[in-house]
Chain A
Amino acid sequence: MKPPLFSYHDPRSTADVVGLLTSLDNAKLLAGGQSLMPMLNMRFVLPDHVIDLNRVEGLSHIRERDGALDIGAMTRQRDIEFSDLVRERCPLMHEAVRQVGHRQTRNRGTLGGSLCHLDPSAELVSVAAALDATIAVIGKDGTRSIDFAAFPVGYMASSIALDELVTGATFPCWPAGHGYAFVEFARRHGDFAIVSAAALLEEDDNGKVTRASLTLGGMGPAPVRVSEVERALIGEVIAEKRLREICEALRKLEAIDDIHAPASYRQQLATVLSRRALLKAHERIGAGRKP
């Protein structure tokens, strides 16, 4: 298996990338290469031009700004994994990224690559959904930002135009002491999850849920927020029995049916993993709060 013939471009600035995207037909952007390279090797994609982003300046950073984490598109998954800022301000992302592939793939794989490849059960995509991230994009008409809810438009398809480039994403942080958990089920360690559940919780002094976020990966064409469950949790005091009742609704959620698992199996996983994630998130409430 060898990649097909293509022309190779390695621009140094986002302006040059946009210029190439505007002038070239059938071009693919190469970020960390952990998805595009296998697709090239297997000839699932046949681009005339490959635009390598690895030498583009200014796309790799993790910064805190206005209570949110601003992460550059070419930031390696490894850098997210080992970032103190991410672990402290966005522990859900820290827990999720450790479940992305293996060390060898996280050393190369990038945030922007994961977001744009948009695998239905990609961990970082689920995190973007869970935290209501905003995706930063640049094109020939300048920059714009896309709310994550409007980012996926179908199976592995995003709402960015062919001549646009994702430059980064902003993840609003939840207050210190919030509960979080990223739980997934895969047949082998490091595989894409069959189903994953990302939970975020805030509770008041009486232990009643005041804010909840629950995201399921691997169920539909893209990770989905389950607003029905999120609403049902408000005002509840988390207990396993009650969670079991609330999460039972997930068994009716529409799910992918493919060679990896039938829909009924995914629905079962969604029910169980959501309960586990919410329970774990509840148990962690207060853990990150400074005394």
Chain B
Amino acid sequence: MSETRNITVTVNGKRHEATVPVRVMLADFLRHQLGLTGTHLGCEHGVCGACTILFDGYSARSCLMLAVQADGHEIMTVEGIATDAGTLHPLQQAFHEHHGLQCGFCTPGILTTLIELLRDNPDPTEEEIRIGISGNLCRCTGYQNIVIAALDAARRLRSDDRGRTTEDGKRVSP
């Protein structure tokens, strides 16, 4: 019988109380116990970055943490990026418009990583974005459109136009 602990953790602003086996990794807790399957598990040993979440505001690989370690802490997953249902966050909108994803497996980890990056550095260079997402593997896009989307998202967030126009000023259909 495996040892368990009771934990209280805030995920995307919502408080959860749960009993978890102590060996369960945070990613599995989010997916299986809370049903937040947006956090993906690729390699499960800290290489692919798909499981990246924000832990107290800082990006971390949720496959390299135990659920018990989250007791008393705050987590944001990809499900928490858009503030209201039905409206994409400017970063998500930019990924949508620039084809920043194909299969979408790596996307949750890349979005959470970029949320932190753009918060800490609202005006990043292309190189800074490439270094920023170097811990996130994508096998579809070749990264080019991800970088374009991230740069555009940075512009949108700076001007706070909530992603309604494209780079050359054209209106985008909602």
- From B49, B52, B64, B131, A33 is in contact (CB under 8 Å) with B64
How many Å from the CB of B71 to the closest CB on chain A? 9
How many Å from the CB of B84 to the closest CB on chain A? 27
- Interface check B40, CB cutoff 8 A: no
| Complex contact A102–B135 (CB within 8 A) | yes
Binds A, one of B53-61, B145-153, B160-168: B53-61
A102 to B66, CA, bound (A): 20
How many Å from the CB of B105 to the closest CB on chain A? 17
| Complex contact A4–B23 (CB within 8 A) | yes
- Interface check A5, CB cutoff 8 A: yes
- Interface check A147, CB cutoff 8 A: no
| Complex contact B60–A38 (CB within 8 A) | no
| Complex contact B3–A8 (CB within 8 A) | yes
Within 8 A of B (CB), among A91-105: 101-105
Q: Beyond A1-B45, A37-B65, A188-B134, is A6–B59 a contact (Cβ under 8 Å)?
A: no
| Complex contact B5–A8 (CB within 8 A) | yes
| Complex contact B46–A7 (CB within 8 A) | no
| Complex contact B3–A42 (CB within 8 A) | no
| Complex contact A2–B64 (CB within 8 A) | no
| Complex contact B45–A108 (CB within 8 A) | no
A88 to B74, CA, bound (A): 33
- Interface check B104, CB cutoff 8 A: no
* Chain A, Cβ-Cβ closest to B113: A104
| Complex contact A108–B64 (CB within 8 A) | yes
Q: Beyond A5-B23, A7-B3, is A105–B61 a contact (Cβ under 8 Å)?
A: yes
- From B45, B68, B134, A41 is in contact (CB under 8 Å) with B45
* Chain B, Cβ-Cβ closest to A7: B3
- From A4, A38, A50, B64 is in contact (CB under 8 Å) with A38
Residues of A within 8 A of B66 (CB): 3, 8, 30, 33, 37, 52
Within 8 A of A (CB), among B14-40: 22-25, 28
Within 8 A of B (CB), among A34-49: 34, 37-38, 40-42
- Interface check A189, CB cutoff 8 A: yes
Residues of A within 8 A of B22 (CB): 6-8, 50
How many Å from the CB of A95 to the closest CB on chain B? 14
- Interface check B2, CB cutoff 8 A: yes
Q: Beyond A102-B135, A108-B65, is A78–B23 a contact (Cβ under 8 Å)?
A: no
Residues of A within 8 A of B113 (CB): 103-104
- Interface check B63, CB cutoff 8 A: yes
* Chain B, Cβ-Cβ closest to A54: B69
| Complex contact B23–A103 (CB within 8 A) | no
| Complex contact A190–B135 (CB within 8 A) | yes
Residues of A within 8 A of B46 (CB): 34, 37-38, 105
| Complex contact B44–A102 (CB within 8 A) | no
- Interface check B117, CB cutoff 8 A: yes
- Interface check A10, CB cutoff 8 A: yes
- From B2, B24, B131, B135, A104 is in contact (CB under 8 Å) with B135
- Interface check A60, CB cutoff 8 A: no
A40 to B116, CA, bound (A): 28
| Complex contact A10–B68 (CB within 8 A) | yes
User: Which residues of B are at the interface with A, using a C-beta cutoff of 8 A?
Assistant: 2-3, 5, 22-25, 28, 44-46, 49, 52, 55, 58-61, 63-66, 68-69, 113, 116-117, 131-132, 134-135
User: Which residues of A are at the interface with B, using a C-beta cutoff of 8 A?
Assistant: 1-8, 10, 30, 33-34, 37-38, 40-42, 50, 52, 54, 78, 101-105, 107-108, 188-190
Given contacts A5-B23, A38-B64, A107-B55, list 5 more A-B pairs with CB under 8 A.
A78-B58, A102-B134, A103-B116, A104-B52, A105-B135
Of all A-B residue pairs in the complex, the 10 with the closest CB atoms, nearest first, are A102-B135, A8-B22, A38-B45, A37-B64, A189-B134, A107-B58, A1-B44, A3-B23, A104-B59, A33-B64
22 residue pairs bridging A and B, Cβ less than 8 Å apart: A1-B45, A2-B28, A3-B66, A4-B23, A6-B22, A8-B3, A37-B25, A37-B65, A37-B66, A38-B45, A42-B45, A54-B69, A103-B59, A103-B117, A103-B135, A104-B61, A104-B135, A107-B55, A107-B60, A108-B61, A108-B65, A189-B131
